[in-house]
Structure 1
Amino acid sequence: MNMTQSTTSSHTAEAAAPGKLYIAGEYAVVEPGHPSIVIAVDRFLTARLEQSEAYGSIHSLQYSDKPLRWERRDKQVTLTEENEALEYVLAAIRVTEQWLLETGTDLSYYHLTIDSQLDSESGKKYGLGSSGAVTVAVVRALLRYYQQEDHDLLVYKLAALAHLSLGSNGSFGDLAASAYTGWVAYSSFDRTMVRRWMDECPLHQVVEMDWPSLSIEQLTPPGSLQLLIGWTGSPASTTDLVGQVKAKQTEMVASYESFLEESKACVTRMTAAFRAGDVPTVQKEIRHNRLLLNQLKDITGVVIETPSLTQLCDIAEAHGGAAKSSGAGGGDCGFALFEDKTDLSPVLQQWAAAHITALLLNVHEKNNAFI
């Protein structure tokens, strides 16, 4: 299947959402207005809807071995048997359907099928943001199914509201990358304010409001930039790691505030270097961001760069790359940025010897067929 293709009619709809990888600004980005750079990668999660007459179902081999039936109770989709693995799917459906009801759309029953490329063949997670991608894919597929415009900001906001409804402590940069694709400069919104609006206002009004501190900008990377991604084979939980850092920040207020300020300055310089096509400065700031994250470990005691990630980075650095962990760290992926004429074969050989899997991923830029 061509993952950039989609179909829309009164009876079926399909949407594919790419996975994500953080390049810079991790941890600081959970604070409103603090910048990050995140990319969409060409591994996809696809959601397909097909109209049904009598009942609905959800089927994903990643979440269950059989289709699970659902029905509407008080206008809300509810599974006939509980399955916690589907919480993001259900949240995406419930928020999007609430928006649809408030904007005058009549709802129907449908079968939802989910297919994911974001995990390894053995089922291990690569850390490519499967919860974000499934939310974005389901929201976009539902909007198409009901023949609504699925512009990126609407998809992002509905996906973010779905995650907020589950009490997420993340930045939602994964949602921005999956919705907008490509290289994205992202700053998170004031979650306290938006949660208050959710309690006080109809959902469609919350969507229409300007969310304080939110910024999403697509970047054009320098043409001479090579990206190489490695997987340590050790999955990590972003929610747990972010929670650990948040728990420590109140004890280390001055140090944490210094980290936030330095991260903001670093990512701002890096974003300017992207706009200028300045690869050496991008690499310099990647190295600086790695240093800041290691200092955050010293502040909080939370291990972000594991020994395997250190190996990944040191091997890449020895061959001219600028490398760091991606996302919350603690395992999962790291990456390196090289000048485009660099021979990467020694890096790949040494990564393999260190049991680091090179993921043959590219940055995904959507085209007209994807839209």
Structure 2
Amino acid sequence: MITAQAPGKLYIAGEYAVVETGLPAIIVALNQFVTVTIEKSEDYGSIVSKQYQENSIYWLRQGDKMVFDNRDNPFHYILSAIHLTERYALEMGKHLTLYHLHINSELDSEDGKKYGLGSSAAVTVATVKALLDFYELPITKDKLYKLAAIAHLDVQGNGSLGDIAASVYGGWIAYQAFDRGWLEAMRRETSLHDLLAMAWPQLNIDLLTPPDNLKLMIGWTGSPASTSQLVDKITIAKAKKRQDYQRFLQNSEQCIKQMIVGFKTKDLTLIQQQIRRNRELLHTLSSFSHVSIETPLLQKMCNLAEGLGGAAKTSGAGGGDCGIAILNKSLATEELAQNWVDNGIERLNLAVHNVTL
């Protein structure tokens, strides 16, 4: 039996701007996981999720194609990961077989709450990773990222793929997106094997080490948001407000580059300054796009953290889900946690996760 895990993630800063080629963001991987297990089968294959037993699906082989018994299934990212990884396995001369694939996610709560921790990215990464192992194909982080990024992009159609990078590389990362137009063109004329070996234009993934006195706290507001829909709305707005949008991108790039300097020089004060600056920039984006990024409860969460000396902002697309606070470890973090609870904000007791293959 093959088992693979991938962690969830949270954006620290650089949201929205990061969907543009070459613009940076800072992301962190967390110690909540999607686990995928694969067991060889002789008669039929299955894809079973512990969270969605009623939607488990079964399939057969017709040549090298997977044929499904039921048409309506929620596992688009898993199926895309399977399709792409098996295409790569065929290119590498492997014989495709039947198997049972089991998925278990810690990224949503037992009662179905969605925390916005990047479950679709984590399940894509874990599925690709497990299948590469199952078919005895060498795994590197670069190869895993590129396969999972393509599979995820085939389903979602937008986004930066930064959540894929966090699930693959782990820890704190500075990330900037590759040129998706280039990838689309190259896929039409290049094998997967060659594509995975190429340098992807503008792609940059840089591992960061936080200052020793940095404390990350995560608050969840109980209101799930759709990243894809929010990104779509911003895409519409940028066509109408080109100058405002370009100014936002330039300012975001400067902000994140300064924050990266803060990580590399272990300067917590500089990191906190840029967290606050990034929050201001997201307010500006929200204002001219008319997209609600910082909800009233997220605003409350941030203001409570600021009141105790932290720097706080929304995480990811906003509109609900999580916010983050960066504090000095010497501060009364438990007081902040209690203040959040008193105001209907759930503290997520998560830690940063470093990945090893």
Partner of 1:186: 175
- Please give the residue correspondences for 1:354-365 in structure 2 after superposition, counting only pairs within 5 Å: 354-365=343-354
CA distance in 1, matches of 2:302, 2:243: 29
Q: How many residues align?
A: 357
CA distance in 2, matches of 1:17, 1:77: 24
Q: Which deviates the most, 118-127 or 58-67?
A: 58-67
**Per-residue CA distance 1:310-329 (angstroms, 9 max, x = gap):** 00000000001100000000
Change (3 A) 1:73 1:304: farther
Q: Which deviates the most, 223-232 or 337-346?
A: 337-346
Of 102, 109, 112, the residue aligned with 2:98 is: 109
Calculate the TM-score normalised by the size of structure 2: 0.98
Of 40, 47, 56, the residue aligned with 2:36 is: 47
Q: Look up the SS of the partner of 1:200 in the other structure.
A: coil
Of 326, 339, 356, the residue aligned with 2:328 is: 339
CA distance in 1, matches of 2:73, 2:19: 25
Partner of 2:289: 300
Preserved contact between residue 169 and residue 239 of structure 1 (Cα < 8 Å): yes
Preserved contact between residue 77 and residue 90 of structure 1 (Cα < 8 Å): no
1:103 Cα deviation (Å)?
1.4
1:299 Cα deviation (Å)?
1.3
1:66 Cα deviation (Å)?
5.9
Q: Look up the SS of the partner of 1:256 in the other structure.
A: helix
Preserved contact between residue 244 and residue 288 of structure 2 (Cα < 8 Å): yes
Structure 2: gaps of 5 or more residues = none
- Please give the residue correspondences for 1:114-125 in structure 2 after superposition, counting only pairs within 5 Å: 114-125=103-114
CA distance in 1, matches of 2:60, 2:180: 31
CA distance in 1, matches of 2:71, 2:225: 25
Of 197, 209, 234, the residue aligned with 2:223 is: 234
1:68 Cα deviation (Å)?
1.7
Q: Aligned residues: percent identity?
A: 47
CA distance in 2, matches of 1:66, 1:335: 34
Preserved contact between residue 224 and residue 321 of structure 2 (Cα < 8 Å): yes
Of 43, 46, 64, the residue aligned with 1:57 is: 46
CA distance in 2, matches of 1:246, 1:66: 33
Structure 1: gaps of 5 or more residues = 1-11
2:270 maps to 1:276: no
Structure 2 counterpart of 1:235, which letter? P
What is the RMSD computed on CA atoms of the aligned residues? 1.2
Partner of 1:161: 150
CA distance in 1, matches of 2:55, 2:285: 44
1:75 Cα deviation (Å)?
2.0
**Per-residue CA distance 1:49-101 (angstroms, 9 max, x = gap):** 00111211000032342642112345233421123410000000000110111
Change (3 A) 1:232 1:167: closer
Preserved contact between residue 232 and residue 357 of structure 1 (Cα < 8 Å): yes
Of 197, 214, 217, the residue aligned with 2:203 is: 214
CA distance in 1, matches of 2:204, 2:141: 13
Runs of 4+ in 1 over 6 A off after TM superposition: none
Q: Which deviates the most, 190-199 or 281-290?
A: 190-199
Partner of 2:303: 314
Structure 2 counterpart of 1:319, which letter? L
